[in-house]
Chains A and B, each alone.
Chain A
Amino acid sequence: MVEFDDGTTQYARVTFTNPKGASIDYTGEFYLASATDLTLPVNNPVIKSFTIPAGGDLNVDYAVPIPLLAVQTADYVACLKVLVGGQPVVTFFGSDGVRVTFSPAIGWGDIVWNP
């Protein structure tokens, strides 16, 4: 299980392979979801559209916003929904979970009076 601080942006690289004999236009939606409902994103899905030639591979990088937490830790599943022609063709679920840990959002300096 990978661990990230809440409210940060982490980068996920996904390698897509086009097994068909023709070039295909894909759309990949990357999101995090709770294990109790894998269809409900807990962050804004990151959507990327790309084309893979027949039989080719393509690395696609996703900048994934990790949610802000009000609790100390939360576990999520990384989900990747793949669409072709606007129709979902497959959804992958990461086998490794994503553990998000709370960290303070604000760093403080001391108060300076009448600077």
Chain B
Amino acid sequence: MPVFAPGSTQTAAITLSNKKDVSFNCEGVLHMGAVPMSQVLFGLNAREEKQILMPVTMPSVPGVYPVQVSIYDSAIGLLSTHQDEDINIVPAQTYDEILRPNASGWYTELMRNGGIANYDRVNEVYADDDASYVYWEYDGTIPYRYDVYNISNHVAGSGQINSVTVRVRGRRTNAYMVSYMSALVWLNHLFASSDGVMPTSTWYYNYDVEWTINPVTGQPWTWADIDNLQIGCKIWNGTWGAGMIITQVYAVVNYTPQ
């Protein structure tokens, strides 16, 4: 029994043969249960064999659906009906692939505590908090600074990308001063920033920003986007004495294999 995800678009290919010596002006209607899901118009010459393609957007409700195709002639009416194998609609399994910084990106404006590059301060699998981080404290110039990092190419992912979530884990260095952190994505010299968030007090805060479409292109994510993507963070400090530490940045690509 074919299994499809709710709301997914599939194509039914049906080979028909006209057993008669007359031509028909046909309409094919595919039903799933009682609901017509696809209609297609076509001609069928005498004794012709033809494959017709019927695009079907699957039902949104999971379950087993009987499939029936009927062929009508414009003058005669119903010519034939065919009952095919049932379709099982089951919720799609989704998967996550985590991509971490592996090289410096287009902007490196934040400071770091040790290490050899900013990206290696934020790419640990388990957040090490004050052990390695990037940071910035207000210095009387502009109130914000950016870091973006190249990330590894995807390996396991395939199919449809449902979302990209950028995790930024950080904390303020001064509980009495206003500082914000934002998540960034950068692609082909354009970037998009999330809203800023101010962690409570000086405790670390995980800020997860999910983009279901690519905010740079305004289009659905592609795997080429993912492989060219840089992710990062922005720190905004309002006044002297304000500062922010970022200890971990990574991207989670959620996808549905097809």
Answer yes or no: A18 CB below 8 A from chain B CBs.
no
Is B80 a contact of A105 with CB atoms below 8 Å? yes
Interface residue stretch chosen among A72-80, A83-91, A107-115: A107-115
Residues of B within 8 A of A66 (CB): 21
Residues facing A in B34-56 (CB within 8 A) are: 44, 49
Interface residue stretch chosen among B10-18, B170-178, B240-248: B10-18
Answer yes or no: B82 CB below 8 A from chain A CBs.
yes
Answer yes or no: A51 CB below 8 A from chain B CBs.
no
Docked pose: A108 CA to B80 CA in angstroms: 9
Residues facing A in B1-29 (CB within 8 A) are: 2, 4, 10-22, 24
Answer yes or no: A24 CB below 8 A from chain B CBs.
no
Is B19 a contact of A107 with CB atoms below 8 Å? yes
Write the chain A residue with the least CB distance to B76.
A68
Minimum C-beta distance from B21 to chain A (A): 4
Write the chain A residue with the least CB distance to B82.
A108
Answer yes or no: B79 CB below 8 A from chain A CBs.
yes
Identify which of A9, A109, A114, A115 contacts B21 (C-beta below 8 A): A9
Docked pose: A104 CA to B82 CA in angstroms: 11
Docked pose: A79 CA to B79 CA in angstroms: 28
Docked pose: A108 CA to B83 CA in angstroms: 10
Residues of B within 8 A of A5 (CB): 19
Secondary structure of the A side of the interface? loop
Is B15 a contact of A109 with CB atoms below 8 Å? yes
Secondary structure of the B side of the interface? strand
Docked pose: A105 CA to B21 CA in angstroms: 10
Is A7 a contact of B19 with CB atoms below 8 Å? yes
Residues of B within 8 A of A105 (CB): 18-20, 24, 79-80
Residues of A within 8 A of B49 (CB): 107
Question: Count of A residues near B, CB < 8 Å?
Answer: 22
Is A65 a contact of B84 with CB atoms below 8 Å? no
Minimum C-beta distance from A111 to chain B (A): 5
Residues of A within 8 A of B16 (CB): 106-109
Docked pose: A107 CA to B44 CA in angstroms: 12
Is A107 a contact of B17 with CB atoms below 8 Å? yes
Docked pose: A30 CA to B84 CA in angstroms: 42
Q: Which of B20, B76, B85 counts the most chain A CB atoms within 10 A?
A: B20
Is B11 a contact of A115 with CB atoms below 8 Å? yes
Docked pose: A101 CA to B221 CA in angstroms: 58
B residues with CB within 8 A of A: 2, 4, 10-22, 24, 44, 49, 67, 69, 71, 76, 79-80, 82, 84-85
List 22 contacting pairs A-B, 8 Å CB cutoff, sorted by A.
A65-B21, A65-B22, A66-B21, A68-B20, A70-B76, A104-B80, A105-B19, A105-B20, A105-B24, A106-B16, A106-B18, A106-B44, A107-B16, A107-B17, A107-B19, A108-B82, A110-B84, A110-B85, A111-B85, A112-B13, A113-B12, A115-B13
- Contacts A104-B19, A105-B20, A106-B71 known; list 12 others, CB within 8 Å: A6-B20, A68-B22, A68-B76, A105-B18, A106-B16, A107-B16, A107-B17, A107-B49, A108-B82, A111-B84, A114-B11, A115-B11
Nearest 3 CB-CB pairings of A with B: A7-B20, A109-B15, A106-B80
A residues with CB within 8 A of B: 5-9, 65-66, 68, 70, 103-115
